[in-house]
Amino acid sequence: MTTYPPAPLYPGIDDARPSGDGLLRIASIGPLALETGGGLPDVQLAFETWGRLNRDASNAVLVQHALTGSSHVARGASEEEGWWDALVGPGRTVDTDRYFVVSINMLGGCYGSTGPASLAPDGTPWGSRFPFVTIRDSVRAEALLADQLGIGQWHSVLGGSMGGARALEWALMYPQRVRRCAVIACTAASSAEQIAFAQAQLQAIRLDPAYRGGDYYDGPHPDVGLGLARRIAHITYRSERELEARFGRAEQDAEQAFGSVLPADRGRYQVESYLDHQAEKLVDRFDANSYAILTEALMSHDAARDRGSLDDALGAATSDFFIAAVDTDRLYFPEQSRRLADGLPGEVPVHMISSPVGHDAFLTQIHQLDDQLRTAFYTE
Residues forming the active site? 161, 329, 359
Q: Which residues are bridge partners to 94 per DSSP?
A: 88
> Which residues touch 313 (CB under 8 Å, ≥6 apart)?
172, 188, 303, 304, 307, 343
Write out the H or E segment, with its range, that includes residue 129: none
Q: How far apart are CA 19 and CA 41, in angstroms?
A: 27
**Among 293, 113, 279, 283, which Cα is nearest to 214's?**
293
Angstrom distance (rounded) from CA 344 to CA 319: 10
Hey, which residues does 40 pair with through a beta bridge?
32
DSSP assignment, residue 210? G
Between 162-173 and 288-299, two packed helices, what is the crossing angle to 10 degrees?
50
Neighbours of 266 (CB within 10 A): 15
Which amino acid appears at position 39 of this protein?
G
Report the relative pairing of strands 100-104 and 39-50 from DSSP bridges: antiparallel
Contact of 135 with 165, CB cutoff 8 Å? yes
Helix (H) or strand (E) run with residue 43 in it: strand 39-50
Task: Say how many C-beta atoms besides its own lie within 10 A of residue 119's C-beta.
Answer: 10
The 100-104 sheet, strands edge to edge: 25-33, 39-50, 100-104, 60-64, 156-160, 180-184, 320-326, 350-353
Query: Mutual orientation of helices 270-285 and 223-237 as an angle, nearest 10°?
Result: 120
Instruction: Using alpha carbons, select from 296, 331, 319 the residue that is nearest to residue 107.
Output: 296
Give alpha helix (H) positions in 259-287: 270-285
CA distances from 202 to 145, 211, 252, 276, 289 (A): 30, 11, 29, 18, 10
Which residue(s) pair with 158 in the sheet?
A: 63, 182
**How far is it, in rounded angstroms, from Cα 82 to Cα 116?**
25
